[in-house]
Amino acid sequence: MPPVIKPSDNQLNLADIDAVKVIGKGSGGIVQLVRHKWTGQFFALKVIQVNVLESVRRQIARELKINQCSQCPFLVVCYQCFYDNGAISIVLEYMDGGSLADLLKKVRTIPEPHLAAICKQVLQGLIYLHHEKHIIHRDLKPSNILINHRGEVKISDFGVSVILTKSSGQRDTFIGTYNYMSPERISGGNHGYISDIWSLGLVMLECATGQFPYPPADNFFELLQAVVEQPSPCPPPDRFSQEFCSFVSACLQKNPNDRQSAGALLKHPFLSMYDSQNVDLGAYLTNAGSPLATF
């Protein structure tokens, strides 16, 4: 059996992988579960159609590879990026539990102790992105937070939106999901790393309550009005701990100057209050959801 392929090897070739099945679809393209012919390794292959010149596609592929290279255990590993047959193909680490969005379809809500364990890992990923890579994610949402049966939680698609936007000139196609945008972003103002913290607050609130914190909007302007003009959403205090309510409030401050950084939030009491329970996140994720593929 050939040795396992590592991200630093640059050995992957699209001709050497077989498609197993489609495991995700988004506005930018599809994600397939693929298997390497020689090692038997599974990967996730994200294929993005970008309607720009071939030279620009090649530049996007190069930038994505550089951007996604990391040694952080809280970010999905990128193995290779290709420009192939008119599309950008990104070979990624396969997370067999899917995303938080997939999990929520099965369990509807996630209990606080497991949310705290999930949130710790997401925050450590954000700390690395913000302070080591100097990247704003810009599209943090349940479908971009991936999980596996070992209890690992990893951020995916970091920096993809800004590279595609910058390279292709398509201002509104890849700038992220409007629903999770911070007030300063959705109103077109300047924004920084702290805009990701607002998105994290909405994700945690959605995972806890089982529904997106804002009512359905018929169009972008209705959502903008709700986010900018209405009070920030908060968990029902009779259903959740004071610590969780405090954590969400710290994330969902409408003034970005009042929002806490990822590093500060990692010290929040909510994240340590269940430590004595020895929460087994791997067992929960394995039992609560069903892996997308088991062989």
In degrees, to the nearest 5, what angle opens at C-alpha 245 toward C-alphas 104 and 239? 65
Task: Choose the catalytic residue: 139, 238, 258, 280.
Answer: 139
More confident of the two residues 12 and 86: 12
Task: State the pLDDT confidence band at 37, using cuts at 50, 70 and 90.
Answer: very high
Condensed to tens digits (0 to 9), the pLDDT of residues 259-280 reads 999 999 999 999 999 999 999 9
More confident of the two residues 104 and 63: 104
In degrees, to the nearest 5, what angle opens at C-alpha 113 toward C-alphas 110 and 118? 70
Q: Which residues of 74-109 are buried (b: 16+ CB within 10 A; e: fewer)?
A: bbbbbbbbbbeeebbbbbbbbbbbbbbbbbbeebee
Condensed to tens digits (0 to 9), the pLDDT of residues 199-252 reads 999 999 999 999 999 988 888 888 889 999 999 999 999 999 999 999 999 999
Q: What percent of the chain has pLDDT over 70?
A: 82
**Length of the chain in residues, anyone?**
295
- The alpha carbon dihedral of 101, 103, 108, 114 has a sign of negative
Mean of pLDDT over the chain:
85
Q: What is the pTM for the complete model shown?
A: 0.88
46 is an annotated ligand-binding site residue? yes
In degrees, to the nearest 5, what angle opens at C-alpha 158 toward C-alphas 152 and 155? 15
Judged against a pLDDT cut of 80, whether residue 295 lies above it is answered with: no
Active site residue 139: yes
